[in-house]
Amino acid sequence: MNKLVDVKNMSITFKRKQALEAVDCYLEQGEVVGLVGPNGAGKTTLMKAIVGFIPISKGGIQKARDISIEVLIEKPGLYPFLSGLDHLQLFVEDQKTTEIDRVISLLNMNEFIGKKTKEYSLGMKQRLGIALALLNRPQVVILDEPMNGLDPYSVKLLKEAITTYRKIGTTFLISSHILSELEQLVDRVLLLKAGRVIENIEHPELLENFEDDLLAKLT
């Protein structure tokens, strides 16, 4: 196993409220991991902790040396008077125009990439945010509810883009409160409830057979 991120016995408390409790999980190179749980389960808190946005109360996170992690949590922060292309050019490393062309093509953004983002719909903003996360080929990409605001065609594009980057070794952690959104996409599923990981499912192709039982555990 080549673990890029290893969360060990991690707890996070906010003002005496336990947000995460004794969480153990990991991310291996080249896998797509689904993080599933109801609203308020702690999915976003776990993602923010992995990238260092919030302090850890107990336990810790081990990361591979010199690891690169990109994240899209909640909604992308965009400059309204810059175009989508301006954003990509601003954040691309070493002016790799081929990487800009790649993400524009994968997410089919040619029709709107030259427009100012103040004119974007929710779905356009989400696709640009995903493109920015993928842009520099990070080792780990963390996407928080990335399918929110996307129509079925855009969801298809997103899944195809994730598959493409997975083939070149990118690791994904993708959260959702809808189990079916992640079927046939993920290699592994973590079920999170009330701040605890209650299941680590190694064979997500079995999800369909046990979905009712799993959903019952989350309620």
* Dihedral, 132, 137, 141, 143 alpha carbons, nearest 10: 30
pLDDT (tens digit, 9 = 90+) per residue, 180-198? 778 778 889 899 989 999 8
Residue owning tokens 């016995």: 9
- Mean pLDDT is highest, among 94-98, 127-131, 183-187, for 127-131
How far is 219 from 191, CA to CA, in rounded Å?
11
pLDDT of the residue at 94: 80
The pLDDT, as a whole number, for residue 200 is 85
Beta-strand ranges (E) seen in the chain are: 3-14, 17-28, 32-36, 58-63, 69-72, 140-144, 171-176, 188-193, 196-201
Rounded to whole angstroms, how far apart are CA atoms 88 and 172? 20
pLDDT in the model for residue 219: 59
What does the pLDDT average to over 130-138? 95
Q: Does residue 216 surpass a pLDDT of 70?
A: no
pTM (2 decimals)? 0.90
* Average pLDDT score over residue span 1-29: 91
pLDDT one-digit tens code per residue, 21-56: 999 999 999 999 999 888 888 999 999 999 999 999
Query: Distances from the Cα of 125 to the Cαs of 18, 30, 39, 113, in angstroms?
Result: 33, 26, 22, 10
What is the rounded CA–CA span in Å between residue 44 and residue 27? Answer: 16
Q: Domains in the chain, please, with CATH? A: 3-218 (3.40.50.300)
Cβ atoms of 128 and 84 closer than 8 Å:
yes
Confidence of residue 213 (pLDDT cuts 50, 70, 90): low
pLDDT at residue 39, rounded to an integer: 85
The structure tokens 């969480």 sit at 23
Alpha-carbon gap, residue 158 to 136, rounded angstroms: 17
142: phi > 0 → left, psi -120 to 50 → alpha, else beta; which? beta
